[in-house]
C-alpha cells in the first residue's frame, strides 16, 4: 500500500508540483477528492461508526459527544458520512456537508444502506455553508479541516450555524506526526513551516494540498471565530501492538511514539 492509499486520504509521498498544477484551497481539495473518492472509500472500507482518525479508538466518543439523541447535528467534510450516520443511528437529526460530489455519492449510498432516509446531504464548502443561522446543537468533523485553507472562515461558519452554546468537535492529523519520515524515523520537516504540504499523485493526476497547523494556531483560529476550547485529546497507545494494524500509511511503531490524531472540542460563545 502506498501512502496515497492511506486512510486519511493522504497522497503519494512524491512531493512537488505535478501535472495537476499549483491549485490551492478549495479548488485543490475538490479536484483531489473528486478524483480520489472511489479509491479512498474502497480501500478504506470504512464502517459506519464514530471514527476520528488513526490511533483513536473506534466507536469511542472520547467523552466529547455526549447524548446526541434529538440534537441537530451537522458534519463538516463528511466524506462517506460513516461518522455522521452513526450519530443518526443514536437519534441525531443529521446533515452532512462536503464539497466533493464523488464523496457525497458514497455518503448517499451509505445512508441508503443503513436506512437513514432522513439524512440530509449538501454539496458545499465548509467556509460558505448554505445553512441557516442558529440551526444546530453540534458540529462534528473528522480529518477534513487539514484540507481547508481558510480555517477561521470555516470556524466562523460553524459558529454561525451553531446555536449559542453549541459545540464543535473535530479531529485533524496531529501536526507532530507528519514531521517524521516513517521509514527512517528522522525528523523530515519543521513544526513551524512547510505548510501547506503538496503531494502529487500521478495515477489520479491530482495534487493533495494539506495544511499542517501548530496546535496553538488552531486554538487561535477557534478563538478568533468565537469559540472557547473545552478539551484537546491526543488518542493513542505507547505500545505498537495496541494498534490493530498499520492504518494505511500510518506506522504502528511511529504512532506509538507520536500521536497521529488530535481532537478538539470547543463551545460557541454567544455573540456579544
Ligand atoms: C479524509 S476525508 C474525511 C471524510 C470523513 N470525515 C471521514 O472521516 O471519512 C476529508 C473530506 O473533507 C472534504 N473537504 C475538504 N475540504 C473541504 C471543504 N472546504 N469543504 C467541505 N468539505 C471539504 C473532502 O471532500 C473529503 O471528503
- The CATH number of the domain where 244 resides is what? 3.40.50.150
Q: Which atom of ligand 1 is nearest to the CA of 26?
A: 19
Say if CB 230 and CB 23 are below 8 A apart.
Answer: no
Ligand 1: residue whose CA is nearest its atom 1 = 8
Q: Is 158 in the pocket of ligand 1 (CB under 6 A)?
A: no
Q: Is 37 in the pocket of ligand 1 (CB under 6 A)?
A: no
Q: In this model, does residue 66 exceed pLDDT 60?
A: yes
Distance of CA 140 from the midpoint of ligand 1 (Å): 12
**Of all residues in the chain, what percent carry a pLDDT higher than 90?**
66
DSSP string spanning the chain?
Answer: --GGGSTT----S-BS--TT-S--HHHHHHHHHHHHHHHHHHHH-PPSS---STTSPTT--TT-S---TT-EEEEES-TT-HHHHHHHHTT-EEEEEES-HHHHHHHHHHHHHTT-TT-EEEE--TTS--S-TT-EEEEEEES-GGG-S-HHHHHHHHHHHEEEEEEEEEEEE-TTGGGB-TTT--B-S-TTS--SEEEEETTTTEEEEE----HHHHHHHHHHTTEEEEEEE----SSGGGSSS-BTTB-HHHHTTS-SEEEEEEEEPPP-
Q: Is 5 in the pocket of ligand 1 (CB under 6 A)?
A: no
- Residue 270: predicted pLDDT: 81
Residue 22 banded pLDDT, cuts 50, 70, 90: low
- Residue 84: predicted pLDDT: 97
Tell me the per-residue pLDDT of 120-179, one tens digit each, with 9 for 90 and over: 999 999 999 999 999 999 999 999 999 999 999 999 999 999 999 999 999 999 999 989
Residue 116 banded pLDDT, cuts 50, 70, 90: very high
Distance of CA 125 from the midpoint of ligand 1 (Å): 9
Residue 248 banded pLDDT, cuts 50, 70, 90: low
Q: Is 143 in the pocket of ligand 1 (CB under 6 A)?
A: yes
Q: Containing domain of residue 45, as a range?
A: 3-268
Q: Degrees (nearest 5) of the Cα angle 131, 29, 266?
A: 50
The number of distinct structural domains making up the chain is: 1
Q: What is the mean pLDDT of the chain?
A: 88
| Mean pLDDT, residues 248-271 | 89
Structure-block grid coordinates of residue 157: 461558519
- Residue 3: predicted pLDDT: 38
For a mutational test of ligand 1's pocket, the pick from 37, 79, 148, 199, i.e. the residue with the most ligand atoms closer than 8 A to its C-beta, is: 79
Q: In this model, does residue 4 exceed pLDDT 50?
A: no
Q: Degrees (nearest 5) of the Cα angle 150, 193, 100?
A: 35
Grid-cell match 483560529, residue found:
221
- Residue 214: predicted pLDDT: 95
| Mean pLDDT, residues 37-58 | 88
For a mutational test of ligand 1's pocket, the pick from 77, 96, 151, i.e. the residue with the most ligand atoms closer than 8 A to its C-beta, is: 77
Nearest alpha-carbon partner for 207 in 2, 9, 8:
9
Q: In this model, does residue 36 exceed pLDDT 80?
A: yes
Q: In this model, does residue 32 exceed pLDDT 50?
A: yes
Distance of CA 79 from the midpoint of ligand 1 (Å): 5
Amino acid at each position: 500500500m502506498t501512502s496515497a492509499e492511506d486512510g486519511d486520504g493522504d497522497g503519494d509521498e512524491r512531493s512537488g508540483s505535478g501535472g495537476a498544477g499549483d491549485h490551492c484551497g478549495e479548488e485543490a481539495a475538490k479536484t483531489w477528492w473528486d478524483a480520489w473518492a472511489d479509491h479512498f472509500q474502497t480501500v478504506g472500507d470504512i464502517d459506519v461508526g464514530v471514527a476520528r482518525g488513526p490511533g483513536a479508538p473506534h466507536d469511542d466518543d472520547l467523552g466529547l459527544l455526549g447524548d446526541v439523541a434529538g440534537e441537530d447535528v451537522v458534519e463538516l467534510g463528511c466524506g462517506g458520512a460513516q461518522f455522521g450516520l452513526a450519530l443518526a443511528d443514536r437519534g441525531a437529526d443529521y446533515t452532512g456537508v462536503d464539497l466533493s460530489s464523488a464523496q457525497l455519492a458514497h455518503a448517499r449510498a451509505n445512508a441508503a444502506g443503513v436506512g437513514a432516509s432522513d439524512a440530509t446531504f449538501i454539496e458545499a464548502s465548509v467556509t460558505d455553508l448554505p445553512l441557516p443561522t442558529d440551526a444546530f446543537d453540534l458540529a462534528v468533523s473528522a480529518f477534513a479541516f487539514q484540507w481547508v485553507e481558510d480555517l477561521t472562515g470555516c470556524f466562523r461558519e460553524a459558529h454561525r450555524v451553531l446555536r449559542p452554546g453549541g459545540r464543535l468537535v473535530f479531529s485533524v492529523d496531529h501536526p507532530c506526526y507528519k514531521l517524521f519520515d516513517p521509514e527512517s524515523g528522522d525528523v523530515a520537516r519543521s513544526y513551524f513551516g512547510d505548510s501547506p504540504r503538496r503531494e502529487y499523485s500521478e495515477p489520479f493526476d491530482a495534487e493533495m494540498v494539506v495544511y499542517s497547523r501548530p496546535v496553538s494556531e488552531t486554538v487561535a483560529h477557534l478563538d478568533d471565530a468565537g469559540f472557547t476550547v473545552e478539551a484537546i485529546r491526543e488518542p493513542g497507545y505507547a505500545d505498537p501492538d495496541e494498534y490493530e494494524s498499520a492504518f494505511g500509511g500510518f506506522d504502528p511503531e511511529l504512532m506509538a511514539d507520536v500521536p497521529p490524531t488530535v481532537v478538539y472540542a470547543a463551545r460557541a460563545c454567544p455573540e456579544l
